[in-house]
Structure 1
Amino acid sequence: MDTIGKRWQAIKARIEAAALDAGRAPDSVSLLAVSKAHPASAIREAYALGQRQFGENYLQEALAKQEELQGLDIEWHFIGPIQSNKTQPIARHFDWVHSVDRAKIADRLNAARGPGQPALQVCIQVNVSGEDSKSGTSAADAIALADHIRQLPKLRLRGLMAIPAPTHDPQEQQSQFRAVRDIYDSLQSSGHHLDTLSMGMSEDFPAAVQEGATIVRVGSAIFGARIKPTTDQPT
């Protein structure tokens, strides 16, 4: 088996073990393979193993890969910060957007979703650690943003996404993910019907699974070190 195959199998096994350790069904956690800065050939390898959900951060890079891989039944997830002037191609070319953090972006995605396309599946990105360098809405503003998205007919709010501050302390990891789960529970209590917590990456996803993650985003642990820069600059 090739290196991507071995890594993918190992990550799948770790996700299953983390779910069982949390008292959850293994299939309650999905793997989103983060393929940014890796070529379409790497995506094709993972696809051959059975992987169908792929996450991209940079629009132009993603569009080139989509063109090369057209015909494959890939579910494309946009997970990077969103520039206002890129909302139209994101809305047209992705199935999911994890990084909605303000009403303006939600409005533009809704307006740009193509006629005949199904509703765009979206998550609200929350900045649970309060870092200035990270995108995301505050916990205090999440409910108002969710209420706004609920009024947009071409968007379907699925849940929350978060990228907590990096730490190697498992207890601190779990504490940050618990804070995201608390926001999720508050939204559920306020009448939103959610089913997605997109949280946890290569270094911390076991702690995220303990706190209810339904999608974990793993890149380097599957594809290895990123091998090419991108010209896209997120803002």
Structure 2
Amino acid sequence: MPHVDPARVEQVRANLAAVRARIEQACARAGRAPEEVSLVAVTKTYPADDVRILASLGVRDVGENRDQEAAPKAAETADLGLTWHFVGQLQTNKARSVASYADVVHSVDRTRLARALGERAAAAGRGLTCLVQVNLDDDSRAGVIGPRGGVDPEDALALAADIEAHESLTLGGVMAVAPRGGDPAEAFARLHGVASRVRDRYPLATVISAGMSADLESAIERGATHVRLGTALLGNRGPIVG
């Protein structure tokens, strides 16, 4: 790995070990196997060198939430054979770019976006796994997308059907972010209920993407299959230069 600081490698190695220990402990409390939970390393604001460090330590799933940062970083590390997850709110006009490199889009929150991703994936000759982003805010109501995205829980099945209907898209499951200031345990329990309803209709849609650095334990104890971690893995760093 060119230009990689050995001290940075050891820092990330230690952080990764601590995160894996947290995941194992949460799984033990929930009576689950650690292998049931996938770690998605969210590398927003961190350089491509950190992606290479993570890959060298066995992390294969990498997440980004801004296309303008994700696209060049994915291209720069294309030799690593990673699985790229797009986890942020996504404008429809970015669908072409995201569909060219992402393997999983966690943040599908409207039919128009699902259609755009499907069309762009088909044009690129790629398949794309999509998750229904669910709005867990208390004031969520049908037809209104909150500041961080997501459909009302009652609308999740309809959007799941729209994703499943496109031949270039695979319905993976659901995703959510815990409300600010709320009880993450209660929120993730509600998400688990939505996920169960989706899975009842679409048995292969088993993904529950929930939990970040501060609340991964609550998410795992309520069924999360994927946790999205940035700060806990990579620490507090300044924005990418250039």
TM-score of the superposed pair, with normalisation by structure 1: 0.92
Looking at structure 2, the residues matched to 203 and 3 of structure 1 have their Cα atoms a distance apart, in angstroms, of 19
Q: Distance in 2 between matches of 1:116 and 1:101?
A: 22
Aligned-pair Cα RMSD in Å = 1.8
Q: Deviations over 1:71-120 (max 9, x none)?
A: 11111000011111100111111111000000000000000014574420
Q: Deviations over 1:13-36 (max 9, x none)?
A: 111111111000110001000000
Cα 1:83/1:209, change in 2 over 3 Å: same
Q: Does 1:139 align with 2:153?
A: yes
Matches within 5 A, 1:143-154: 143-154=157-168
> Would the aligned equivalents of 1:37 and 1:230 in 2 still touch at CA under 8 Å?
no
The Cα offsets for residues 109-141 of structure 1, whole Å up to 9 and x where unpaired, read as 000014574420110101011463221111111
1:186 pairs with 2:197: yes
Is the 1:61–1:230 contact (alpha carbons within 8 Å) kept by the matching residues of 2? Answer: no
Is residue 218 of structure 1 aligned with residue 226 of structure 2?
no
- Identity, % of aligned positions: 36
Moved more, 127-136 or 218-227: 127-136
Determine the structure 2 residue equivalent to 1:41: 49
**3-state DSSP class of the match of 1:97?**
strand
Q: Are 1:97 and 1:122, in contact at CA under 8 Å, matched by a contact in 2?
A: yes
Matching residue of 2:209: 198
Which residue in the other structure is 2:188 paired with? 177
Give CA deviations for 1:173-227 in whole Å, capped at 9, x if unaligned.
2111000011111122334531100000000010100110000000011111141
| 4+ runs deviating over 6 angstroms | none
Counterpart of 1:228?
A: 239
Corresponding letter in the other structure for 2:43: S
Q: Structure 2 counterpart of 1:106, which letter?
A: A
Contact 1:58–1:230 (8 Å) recurs in 2? no
Structure 2 residue runs of 5 or longer lacking an equivalent are 1-8, 141-145
Q: Count residues with an aligned counterpart.
A: 228
Three-state SS of the structure 2 residue aligned to 1:222 is helix
Report 1 or 2 for greater relative contact order, CA contacts < 8 Å, sequence distance ≥ 6.
Answer: 1
- Structure 1 position 229, deviation (Å): 6.1
Q: Aligned with 2:213: secondary structure?
A: coil
Q: Retained in 2: the 8 A contact 1:28–1:214?
A: yes
AA matched with 2:221:
Q
> Are residue 161 (structure 1) and residue 175 (structure 2) matched?
yes
Deviations 1:47-86 (A, max 9, x none): 1100010000111111111222121111100001111110
* Cα gap change, 1:77 to 1:230, in 2 (>3 Å): farther
- What's the counterpart of residue 94 of structure 1? 102
Q: Secondary structure at the match of 2:78?
A: coil
Closer, same or farther in 2 for the Cα pair 1:13/1:117, shift >3 Å?
A: farther
Structure 2 residue 20 is matched with structure 1 residue 6: no
TM-score w.r.t. the length of structure 2 is 0.89
Quick check: 1:107–1:152 contact (8 Å CA) kept in 2? Answer: yes
Q: Is 2:92 aligned against 1:80?
A: no
Residue 32, structure 1, aligned to residue 55, structure 2: no
Task: Name the structure 1 match of 2:143.
Answer: none
Give the match's secondary structure for 2:150.
Answer: coil
- Deviation string for 1:138-160 (max 9, x for gaps)? 11111111111111100000100
Mean Cα deviation higher: 190-199 or 87-96: 190-199
CA distance in 2, matches of 1:66, 1:11: 24
